[in-house]
Amino acid sequence: MQFTALQIATLIKGKIEGNPEAKVSHVAKIEEAKDGSLSFIANPKYEEYLYHSSASIIIVNDSLELKESVNPTLIRVKDAYSGFASLLEKYNELIARTGKNGIEQPSYISKKASIGKDVYVGAFSYIGDNVIIGENVKIYPGCYVGDNVVINDNSTLFSGVKVYDGCSIGSRVVVHSGTIIGGDGFGFAPQKDGTYKKVPQIGNVIIEDDVEIGANTTIDRATMGSTCIRKGVKLDNLIQIAHNVEVGENTVIAAQTGISGSTKVGKNCIIGGQVGIVGHIHIADGTRINAQSGLSKSVSSPNAALTGSPAFDYKSSLKSQAIFRNLPELLQRLSKIEEALDELTNAPKTNISVK
Catalytic center residues: 243
Report d(CA 26, CA 49) in Å as an integer: 18
Phi, psi (5° rounding) for residue 87?
-65, -45
Residue 278 identity: V
**Strand (E) or helix (H) holding 271:** strand 270-271
User: Ramachandran region of residue 204, left (φ > 0), alpha (ψ -120 to 50) or beta?
Assistant: beta
Q: How many other C-beta atoms can be found within 10 angstroms of the C-beta atom of residue 240?
A: 16
d(CA 166, CA 188): 22
Establish whether the linkage from the previous residue to 310 is cis, with ω within 30° of 0: yes
Helix (H, G, I), strand (E, B) or coil at 335: helix
Query: Facing residues of 64 across strands?
Result: none
Distance (Å, rounded) from C-alpha 126 to C-alpha 149?
Answer: 12
In the chain, helix, strand, coil percent, each to 5? 20, 30, 55
Residue 248: how many CA atoms within 13 Å on its side-chain side? 15
